[in-house]
Structure 1
Amino acid sequence: MIIPVSGGEPGLLEHLQQIREAGDVPLVGDPRWSTAHWGAMVEAATKAELPDGTAWATLTSGSSGAPRIVLRSAESWDDSFAAVSRFLDAGHGENVALPAPPASSLTLFSLAHSLSGGPRPMLRVTPDADALHGTPQALRAVLDAGAPPRLRAALIGGSHLDPALRRRAEAAGIRVTAYYGAAELSFVACDEGDGLRPFPGVDLEIRDGELWVRSTFIASGYAGAPGPLRRDGEWATVGDRAELVDGRLRLLGRADDAILSASATIVPEEVEAVLRSIPGVRDAIVFGLPSGPIGALVSALLELDDDAPVDVRPLAAAQLAPAHRPRRWFAGEIPRTASGKPARAEAVRLVQSGEVQSLAV
């Protein structure tokens, strides 16, 4: 059975071990959740029919909506531990800092790794950290605060890693490996500085523009509400659009994130990549705002450096086709999930409720 656990409780690692040794399946939640949200998760967990061999229950990030419970076997994580240890350059007895909350699959993976002889987990960054497993935002915070003297490697996932942030980390003596993955697929591709290549043990295939993955890391399914995971024999997909160019994976976003505006289909990630290249733009999230008969207006929420230029719009217009240019612009902090991924649905809500300001020019 699934045993819900609060990620804020003391002795979390020991509690997870006890649950696993009893033959049950831990599900770590966020202590910041509302009572109603906790209730919904507990109800879904209680009703779940578990496939044989289920060892872990994790949560999707909820970057596009409500999180789902993902079920997986022990082997689906165990099989990637050796590669992760190499990327972290850390093993048993060494310390890996985990800034994301334990409710995120990113951190829960590292807790499971520790129980199988991996690095010692630290749920905050301390001077004793030898490695970091977290999001780009966590890496930026570590560098802003002054990197711990022993920190030598970082494994970064959850969202886009700015090349300038990678260079900054490397200048501080930190070797950075970025990766793309999903709660349902686990690790898919990794980037050590020359583009995303298949993660060790993973095969990739593009079918009609959609990314399909074959590995032993794939989850068993869901508890409660179904999700985007689809299977075809040993292959699986969550609907991400992508292309393979010279052996490198180029991600084009989730198919259901596409913006339909007039007669055009706009992939938000392609526009975001252009916006991030503009000096002064730290990060960007692009989404559609409903606009009657044309479908949606392409809109952008930007996180700007203090000295951001005033010519963001013309610089974007010089690089984007007319249909792909944002028509509405906003500035402010990009909302993120607990694990640090940009939360597109929440960005739309913030704009519609007037909680972020239009970008001044």
Structure 2
Amino acid sequence: MLRTVPVDGSPRSVATLADALAAALDGTGPAVRPVAADAPPTPGPTGELPEGAAVVVSTSGSTGEPKHVVLTAAALTASARATEERLGGPGRWVLPLPAEHVAGVQVIVRALLAGAPPQVQDVRAGFRPAGFARTTARLPHGARRYTSLVPTQLLRVLREGSGPLDALRGYAAVLVGGAALDPALREQAREAGVRVVTTYGMSETAGGCVYDGVPLDGVTVDIDDGRILLGGPTVAAGYLGDPAATAESFAGGRFRTGDLGRLDDGRLTVLGRADDVVVTGGENVAPAAVERVLSAQPGVRDVCVVGVPDGEWGAVVAAAVVADGDFERDGVAAAVRAELGRAAVPRRWLAVGEIPLRGIGKPDRAEVRRLLSATTTTEQTSPIR
């Protein structure tokens, strides 16, 4: 049996989900499928749940094709306990994330296993730094504090400063995941006194399972033909109602991700999505590598790099940039050329007010690609000097 629980970002709806999760974890209630209350109605997953199933997280990913990830109580518990061990012990949690995503589910699970439900920020009108500070203030005085953010939320708190930043400084650890964390943003947070821990993982691994490049206890990381393989007790049981996709992605207790990576003395560096690689004039360019160089340049506040079709080159590297007034395209292009080579230099540029996002805070690369493909050559270059 599978119980669908709608959540709308309100503390009340998250409390209902938390009660359902608690019952699913201890086996007294059915498995739970959290969904956004305002999501368009779609057919629910079908198929037989495996023994021990506690949560089904439905995620469309970048392709828009729904997948229904089955997480057992054992996998969720293993992830929560390993996180607790890595961070230095149990604590009280604040949830500022949408609870229908695996990161939100795991905040609830960690909090429940630590002995108390999380304090929930009301995000029905979106994330507000001031609201985060008010939610933090509801935690017991002197309690060890944890929270989980996406990079966009971290950036907003840092920009707000004052009370919200003071609140964030009081956390023993601030997990940041859901999208790549710009090294410059991480350094800004560190200098502001925020204890950031970067996380890497996905629904299929019960959320983050690699912290600051180091796998949690029991988690294995391997590289196969450039692809990251994750194993251990946090790996999902598969996709509900999709045995073909399960067989393709899960084998031997490991999940084959769609990400490229490398291991250096046991520390993982994620190089980006394998299907995001741009083949331009016969050269392979990883957008994540270009984004790292661009993000480090003066005047660049945010960036998303994609490939767009081109009649001459097959595809060209293109960049949507959120920039300050002192951004100079020639200078940043030279920096990319010096570090990554000529093929990696974006041939198309577009200034945007913000990078389109999807889901929990990942760049919407399909929308960025559409924007860059739809512009003319003049429009691509004129907004950025």
Structures share a fold, TM > 0.5?
Answer: yes
Q: What does residue 128 of structure 2 align with?
A: none
Q: What does residue 327 of structure 1 align with?
A: 347
User: Partner amino acid for 1:126?
Assistant: A
TM (normalized to structure 1)?
0.85
Question: Against the structure 1 CA distance between its residues 298 and 170, is the aligned structure 2 distance closer, same or farther, given a 3 Å change threshold?
Answer: closer
Secondary structure at the residue paired with 1:79? helix
Of the two structures, which has the highest relative contact order with CA contacts closer than 8 Å and spacing of 6 or more?
Answer: 1
Alpha-carbon distance between aligned partners in 1 of 2:268 and 2:20, rounded to the nearest angstrom: 40
Q: What does residue 174 of structure 2 align with?
A: 154
Question: Against the structure 1 CA distance between its residues 321 and 65, is the aligned structure 2 distance closer, same or farther, given a 3 Å change threshold?
Answer: farther
- Point out where structure 2 has 5 or more consecutive residues left out of the alignment: 122-131, 137-144
After TM superposition, the structure 1 = structure 2 runs for residues 6-155 of structure 1, keeping only pairs within 5 Å, are: 6-8=6-8, 10-18=12-20, 20=23, 23-33=29-39, 35=40, 39-40=41-42, 43-45=43-45, 47-60=46-59, 62-86=61-85, 91=90, 94=92, 96-117=93-114, 120-124=117-121, 125-127=132-134, 129=136, 130-146=145-161, 147-149=165-167, 150-155=170-175
User: Partner amino acid for 1:50?
Assistant: L
Contact 2:80–2:106 (CA under 8 A) maintained in structure 1: no
Alpha-carbon distance between aligned partners in 2 of 1:293 and 1:44, rounded to the nearest angstrom: 44
After TM superposition, the structure 1 = structure 2 runs for residues 1-361 of structure 1, keeping only pairs within 5 Å, are: 1-8=1-8, 10-18=12-20, 20=23, 23-33=29-39, 35=40, 39-40=41-42, 43-45=43-45, 47-60=46-59, 62-86=61-85, 91=90, 94=92, 96-117=93-114, 120-124=117-121, 125-127=132-134, 129=136, 130-146=145-161, 147-149=165-167, 150-185=170-205, 186-191=207-212, 196-224=213-241, 230-292=249-311, 294-310=313-329, 311-332=331-352, 333-353=354-374, 358=380, 359-361=383-385
* Structure holding more helix per residue: 2
User: Partner amino acid for 2:103?
Assistant: L
Question: Against the structure 1 CA distance between its residues 64 and 305, is the aligned structure 2 distance closer, same or farther, given a 3 Å change threshold?
Answer: farther
TM (normalized to structure 2)?
0.80
Question: Against the structure 1 CA distance between its residues 15 and 323, is the aligned structure 2 distance closer, same or farther, given a 3 Å change threshold?
Answer: closer
Question: Against the structure 1 CA distance between its residues 64 and 298, is the aligned structure 2 distance closer, same or farther, given a 3 Å change threshold?
Answer: farther
> 1:16: Cα distance to partner?
4.2
User: Partner amino acid for 1:111?
Assistant: I
Alpha-carbon distance between aligned partners in 2 of 1:272 and 1:257, rounded to the nearest angstrom: 12
Question: Against the structure 1 CA distance between its residues 227 and 331, is the aligned structure 2 distance closer, same or farther, given a 3 Å change threshold?
Answer: farther
Q: What does residue 125 of structure 2 align with?
A: none
Contact 1:190–1:198 (CA under 8 A) maintained in structure 2: yes
Contact 1:13–1:111 (CA under 8 A) maintained in structure 2: no
Please give the per-residue CA displacement for 1:90-118, whole angstroms capped at 9, x wherever unaligned. Answer: 735x3x23222112211111112223335
> 1:156: Cα distance to partner?
0.9
Alpha-carbon distance between aligned partners in 2 of 1:197 and 1:331, rounded to the nearest angstrom: 35
RMSD between superposed Cα atoms in Å: 2.7
Question: Against the structure 1 CA distance between its residues 87 and 205, is the aligned structure 2 distance closer, same or farther, given a 3 Å change threshold?
Answer: closer
Question: Against the structure 1 CA distance between its residues 81 and 286, is the aligned structure 2 distance closer, same or farther, given a 3 Å change threshold?
Answer: same
Q: Which stretch of the first structure deviates more once superposed, 2-11 or 330-339? A: 2-11
What is the number of residues matched between the two proteins?
347
Secondary structure at the residue paired with 2:196? strand
Alpha-carbon distance between aligned partners in 2 of 1:354 and 1:339, rounded to the nearest angstrom: 27
Alpha-carbon distance between aligned partners in 1 of 2:48 and 2:371, rounded to the nearest angstrom: 36
Alpha-carbon distance between aligned partners in 1 of 2:285 and 2:111, rounded to the nearest angstrom: 42
Question: Against the structure 1 CA distance between its residues 171 and 266, is the aligned structure 2 distance closer, same or farther, given a 3 Å change threshold?
Answer: closer
Identity of paired residues, percent?
33
Please give the per-residue CA displacement for 1:277-318, whole angstroms capped at 9, x wherever unaligned. Answer: 212212222111122463222111122235434533333333
Q: What does residue 141 of structure 2 align with?
A: none
Secondary structure at the residue paired with 2:358? coil
- Point out where structure 1 has 5 or more consecutive residues left out of the alignment: none
Alpha-carbon distance between aligned partners in 1 of 2:90 and 2:133, rounded to the nearest angstrom: 17
Secondary structure at the residue paired with 2:233? coil
Alpha-carbon distance between aligned partners in 1 of 2:316 and 2:297, rounded to the nearest angstrom: 21
